[in-house]
Amino acid sequence: MTRLRHRLHIRRWMAAFALAVLLVLPSGDRLHITPALDVSSGHAFSLVQWHITNFFGKWVHLLREAIPGQRPTREERIAIVDEYLQTSRLAEKEERL
């Protein structure tokens, strides 16, 4: 009886493994490009391209921020946030129209 249980146990593990492999494997290897994707591909956002373009600017900004006295004051930060919020509210109103 224990031998039968052992075989069933092995078969269950093999079935579970086979199911896991089938779920992980891709169903196909063709790239489907719709007409809309084809037209918009020139304007698509590329995260890699953004990092390459902004790499030096990011580090220059961080170095500038590290210099004492270069950060905006609390009042300036509040003014910047207020301006951003006003602009975003205006953009929301424009989108509704």
72 and 80 Cβ atoms separated by less than 8 Å: yes
In a domain, 89, yes or no: yes
In a domain, 35, yes or no: no
Residue 5 burial (CB count, 10 A): 9
In a domain, 61, yes or no: no
64 and 70 Cβ atoms separated by less than 8 Å: yes
In a domain, 15, yes or no: no
In a domain, 18, yes or no: no
Average pLDDT taken over every residue of the chain: 87
Percent share of the chain, pLDDT over 90? 38
In a domain, 63, yes or no: no
Give the chain's domain count. 1
In a domain, 73, yes or no: yes
91: domain range? 69-97
Percent share of the chain, pLDDT over 70? 96
